[in-house]
Amino acid sequence: MAAQKPLAIVAGAGAGLGQSLLSRFERGGFTAVGLGRSEPLAPVGDFHTLDLADANTVPAKIADIIDTYGAPKIVVHNTAELVIAPLSETSLDHFSRTWTSMVQTAFLLGRSTLDVMAKADGGSFIVSGATASLRGGAKFSAFASAKFALRGLTQSMAREYQPKGVHVCHAILDGIIDTDRSRDLHSLDPAKMMKPEDIAEAYWQIAQQPKSTWTHELDLRPASEGF
């Protein structure tokens, strides 16, 4: 009987980066499982539709996935909820939704996978950050505050689980990811956007790093992006 393929889970596996990650992991010999609020057209791998902030649904669903495929070797947190508005026009609902969508989801994902990974000889847990993880811009009060918190949560998880053999990494994506939606939203030359498949390749390389040289945080940006 052929050995079971290792498992890669992407939470926030919508069109663009999420699907590119699943495609890269699948090409690398992994069973690719995507989680998200809505299923994209022709999803890669085994896709599950669910609310990633639901404290009842997420642990049970991930436990079922692990029962089916085994402990994950790669887990990626890639959810996002972008609110751009002046503070006076940012409602409490908008503010809370960014935190729920990005911080609570990471908390639930980590609670559901990290201990399992640590007991199964480790793996990689990668979190997608943004420029707003480091700098709160005008009209980004909701988004930046949540991204700051996500970065802090990732650091805490890294310091707890790195000694247990789990590589926890925070990736700062400093640029606009090239998707159909972002082309509609931003008047930007696609040549100056981040290609999802290139980001996915960087995540794949992170997951292959030997224990003697683990990266906890890196930033990725187009060559044209100022910083």
What is the number of domains present in the chain?
A: 1
Domain enclosing residue 26, as ranges: 7-220
Residue 227 lies in a domain: no
Q: What is the mean pLDDT of the chain?
A: 94
pLDDT of residue 3: 66
pLDDT of residue 87: 96
pLDDT in tens, 57-104: 999 999 999 999 999 999 999 998 999 999 999 999 999 999 999 999
**CA 55 to the chain's CA centroid:** 18
Neighbours of 134 (CB within 10 A): 15
Predicted confidence (pLDDT) at residue 2 exceeds the cutoff of 60: no
pLDDT in tens, 170-184: 999 999 898 877 777
Residue 122 lies in a domain: yes
Residue 162 lies in a domain: yes
What's this model's pTM, rounded to 2 decimal places?
Answer: 0.95
Q: Token digits for 19?
A: 């699907």
Q: Number of C-alpha atoms within 13 angstroms, CB side, residue 172? A: 18
pLDDT in tens, 107-137: 999 999 999 999 999 999 999 999 999 999 9
Q: In whole angstroms, give the CA distance from residue 99 to residue 204.
A: 27
The CA distances from residue 39 to 21, 181, 212, in Å, are: 15, 16, 38
- For range 171-199, the mean pLDDT: 85
- For range 191-196, the mean pLDDT: 90
CA-angle at 128, arms to 178 and 223, nearest 5°: 50
Predicted confidence (pLDDT) at residue 16 exceeds the cutoff of 80: yes
Instruction: Give the model's confidence band at 40: pLDDT under 50 very low, under 70 low, under 90 confident, else very high.
Output: confident
Predicted confidence (pLDDT) at residue 15 exceeds the cutoff of 80: yes
Residue 101 lies in a domain: yes
pLDDT of residue 57: 96
Q: In whole angstroms, give the CA distance from residue 114 to residue 153.
A: 13
Do 65 and 47 meet the contact criterion of CB atoms below 8 Å apart? no
Instruction: Give the model's confidence band at 1: pLDDT under 50 very low, under 70 low, under 90 confident, else very high.
Output: very low
Residue 1 lies in a domain: no
Residue 2 lies in a domain: no
Residue 79 lies in a domain: yes
CATH of the domain at 188: 3.40.50.720
Write down the H helix ranges in the chain.
Answer: 17-27, 57-69, 92-99, 105-119, 141-161, 180-185, 196-207
pLDDT of residue 159: 98
Residue 169 lies in a domain: yes
CA-angle at 61, arms to 150 and 146, nearest 5°: 15
pLDDT of residue 204: 98
CA-angle at 26, arms to 114 and 153, nearest 5°: 25
Q: Which residue has the tokens 């789990």?
A: 166
